[in-house]
């Protein structure tokens, strides 16, 4: 299978090119280099007692382009140097809205949509309990993260239910992707270490961009 990507062409940094506001309340939205991936900066109201923030409001998030019906919320706890990914579902693709509750992670999204002009390219974003950022990852992207802090509590919303028989993955250390994970000697599950490189994933196991439009 021709992959249409090369390690030297991949750019791990973000190109912060777009900032826009929701209709009802100030909410900063940054478009990543892969334009479908969005960084959301919700308002955080702080005082001497602590802070309050709204982590999701369907009307407001629809207004900034995240028009999904989220059906499942997940919570993940991991220790330092843990690396999870790169995960996706083939026939039941999930969009995700991810956020760190405590700690710090490096979060990665990889475009694995067949026939996509950015197939095989990726972006990486630091998420932590200080910047309060959220990352929106649309359907057709593989997702993974590694933990930079001592521990991390990580939550995410999904647009479709978890389907164990439909679960797929791409090798986190795929040399063709060249993801610049910011940790050495990560702690990785046997399952995640066993996923194929992107070039070896059967075409039938990849989401097609025309089916996601």
What residues are annotated to the active site? Answer: 87, 156
To which residue do tokens 């070039």 refer? 199
Alpha-carbon span 22 to 127, nearest angstrom:
21
CA–CA separation, 35 vs 54, rounded Å? 24
Question: What's the CA gap between 41 and 181, in Å, rounded?
Answer: 23
CA distance 142 to 85: 8
Question: 3-state class of 8 per DSSP?
Answer: helix
Number of H helices, E strands in the chain: 3, 14
Are the C-beta atoms of residues 41 and 209 closer than 8 Å to each other? no
């Amino acid at each position: 299978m021709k992959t249409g990507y090369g390690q030297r062409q991949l750019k791990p940094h973000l190109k912060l090119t777009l900032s826009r506001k929701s209709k009802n309340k100030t909410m900063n939205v940054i478009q990543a280099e892969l334009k479908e991936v969005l960084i959301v900066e919700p308002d955080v109201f702080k005082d001497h007692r602590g802070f309050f923030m709204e982590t999701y409001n369907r009307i407001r998030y629809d207004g900034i382009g995240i028009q999904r019906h989220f059906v499942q919320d997940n919570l993940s706890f991991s220790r330092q140097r843990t690396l999870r990914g790169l995960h996706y579902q083939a026939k039941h693709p999930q969009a995700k809205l991810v956020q760190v509750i405590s700690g710090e992670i490096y979060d990665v999204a990889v475009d694995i949509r067949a026939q996509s002009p950015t197939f095989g390219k990726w972006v990486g974003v630091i998420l932590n309990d200080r910047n309060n950022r959220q990352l929106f990852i649309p359907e057709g992207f593989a997702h993974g993260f590694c933990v930079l802090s001592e521990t991390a509590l990580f939550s995410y919303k999904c647009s479709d239910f978890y389907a164990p028989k439909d679960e797929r993955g791409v090798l986190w250390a795929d040399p063709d992707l060249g993801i610049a994970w910011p940790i050495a000697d990560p702690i990785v599950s046997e399952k995640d270490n066993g996923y194929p490189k992107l070039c070896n994933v059967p075409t039938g196991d990849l989401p097609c961009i025309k089916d996601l439009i």
